[in-house]
Amino acid sequence: MEENQIMIEIRIHGRGGQGAVTSAELVAIAAIDDGKYAQAFPSFGPERRGAPVAAFIRVSDKPIRTREKVYGPNVVMVLDPSIIKIVNVAAGLKDGGTVIINTSKTPEEMAGLLNVRAKVATVDATKIAMESMGVPITNTTMLGALVKSTGIVSSDALGKAIDKRFGRIAEKNKTAFNRAMTETIIRES
């Protein structure tokens, strides 16, 4: 987290059942373990599995008083690249922001597709999740890309949060998380 910023706001885009809400919760738990203030919450109505959903995270060095949705995120994370066709994922992205996308495309290709001048990070999280866990659920994999591209929480704190949340299957999730930290490609704005 940049020292001159008091609060970082993150919006996660995914589909129901992909773990966007779990991702938000894990980052908030890790931030608190790192000694910061954090909140995480979803935004969905009567959606069913597979419908577009968003989850929000705030991390700060000071208490967080706002409870509204994140309209002007510093960071946008996209768990499912097909969302880009139906949702303007970069809407409201702050200047100097970061977009993290699950895709096999390059950061340059995605920056052009989204028409953003931002830091863009890409990782083929679906491939990593399939190879590491045997399922195409990318949430913990994408958290590796988030840590690498933003440093918002420590990898140790996130690893502990994954252990607590996933128990006996935590190791596979941490393997995917660590692999994404290595394989994420970043293009500075």
Number of domains in the chain: 1
Buried b (16+ CB within 10 A) or exposed e, 122-140: bbbbbbbbbebbeeebbbb
Give residue-wise pLDDT tens across range 9-65. Answer: 999 999 988 899 999 999 999 999 999 999 999 886 655 677 889 999 999 999 999
What pLDDT was estimated at residue 45? 60
Q: Are strands 52-60 and 37-43 parallel, antiparallel or unpaired?
A: antiparallel
Query: pLDDT tier at 188 (50, 70, 90 boundaries)?
Result: very high
For 181, the domain range is 7-187
**DSSP summary character for residue 104:** S
Which CATH number is 175's domain given? 3.40.920.10
Q: What's the predicted TM-score (pTM) here?
A: 0.93
Buried b (16+ CB within 10 A) or exposed e, 141-150: bbbbbbbbbb
The answer to whether the CB of 12 falls within 8 A of the CB of 79 is yes
Q: Which tokens go with 63? A: 């208490």
Does residue 2 lie in a domain region? no
d(CA 153, CA 28): 9
Give residue-wise pLDDT tens across range 90-128. Answer: 999 999 999 999 999 999 999 999 999 899 999 999 999
Does residue 1 lie in a domain region? no
3-state secondary structure of 84: helix
Does residue 81 lie in a domain region? yes
Does residue 58 lie in a domain region? yes
With 80 as the cut, is the pLDDT of residue 145 above it? yes
